[in-house]
Amino acid sequence: MEDEQKELKNVKEIGINDFLHIITGVVPDTECGQIWEKYDKAETDERISIIKDILDFYTDKAKFAEQKYYVQLIRNNDGSYLNKNMLSNFCIIGSCQPDEIFQLDKYYMSGKNIKEIAPTRLLTDLENNRSNMQYLLDGYGENHQYTTVKDFKIHVCASLQYATDDGYIQGYAKTGLIINSVEETWTPEQKAAKKNKIKSFNATQFNKFKSYVDFKLDELLDGKPIYGGKDGSVKKLSMSDQTKLMIISVGIHTGARFGEILGFKFSDVTNAGININKTWNYHRTGGFRNTKNLGSIRNLMIDDTLYNLLIRYNKFKNKNDIPNDSNRPLLNENTRIHDSVINEFLNKVEKKLGLPLLTMHKLRHSYASYLLYQDVPAQIVAKQLGHSSTEMLFRVYGHILEEKERMAEDRIKGLLG
């Protein structure tokens, strides 16, 4: 109730349009604008009721016998703009169908960055104005690396294209823009350190790390939950070491994205693989969200060791009264999960083993590199990683594939020579 009152207060402060845009991801002039029409025609008391009903639905407090017309829109319609899986994370375009979904998080962040770089600039200041566009890119590039600046440019240009299509501006500069980044201020030593920074485990390190995680997890699943490195029966406001290790184990065994690891339920696990059809929104307040793209929806092949560990982990949670709601992700103890917490725990394990300090995302790179070195076909590796083609593999792991190609050529010469 306290949270609901706080949100109602926020509605009064920011206005209904901005509030509904935040929680639904749509704008009034789309084909999903019925809710604004209803709100605009309503009397004051009914407006408050509409907001409250939306909040009830949004916070899982809706009394379904009393649902109003707009709640009816979401019944049996996963593509509806009020579907809870879509709220605050996606923008539903046009007819509100699932195949027209675009993730907004990074665009919101880019918008925030634009305000910080040029707080007084207007949309019209970017209309066919190359110098103002360059000013934005240069301002962002002062503190960001090349790849990040490139993504920022994509977000800005995509937004300006929508503004052009909708008639708000006549056009924008598309050519002659230079990406300047913080790397240009680096010393040769800094550039060399960046270039030589270890991005993945080699084969020996990979096997050493995976073996340790598997054996350690196998040992700990027989005992009581450990919180903060200490064995005890009193639960703290954190997750157990067993859960952290299980998350890491899934990462090194599958190369799955962090959000995918946090998003699957126990019912998604079989000895044939893990059904990846959703992710967990760990950046905000939690909740399921769509996968990164359609290619990410897949049956993630797993080995017998991981399958058995997941089965034992589920029993471990039930045995020790750790929250284990079948409708929530398996690797969750009803606490907020930050990637920084898992990465910190991961680094402790790596230090213990004398290995390079990698993040969960770099475990994904290690997994892909290891499979490619073991001559697993690029198409299979791409499928495991959730890529729709091998293009990404050749861009990121091209050096490995080129080396393998040279080895294959030498083998052919040996066979036929």
257: tokens are 């994205």
Range(s) within the chain of domains with CATH label 1.10.443.10: 203-399
pLDDT of residue 325: 87
Largest CA distance in the chain: 88
Domain covering 203-399: architecture? Orthogonal Bundle (1.10)
State the pLDDT at residue 194. Answer: 79
> Is the pLDDT higher at 215 or at 332?
215
pLDDT tens, residue by residue, 95-112: 333 333 335 567 778 888
116 has pLDDT over 60: yes
pLDDT at 110: 84
pTM of the model: 0.66
Confidence of residue 230 (pLDDT cuts 50, 70, 90): low
pLDDT at 188: 87
- Residue 147: per-residue pLDDT: 87
297/191 Cα distance (integer angstroms): 37
Residue 37's pLDDT band, with cuts at 50, 70 and 90, is low
Residue type, 52: K
**3-state SS track over 39-63:** HHHCCHHHHHHHHHHHHHHHCCCCC
Output the pLDDT for position 38: 54
- Check whether 372 has a pLDDT greater than 60: yes
Distance (Å, whole) CA 232 – CA 226: 6
Q: pLDDT at position 275, please?
A: 94
What's the pLDDT at 223?
Answer: 93
Lowest-confidence range among 60-64, 202-206, 273-277, 408-412? 60-64
The pairing of strands 226-227 and 230-231 is antiparallel
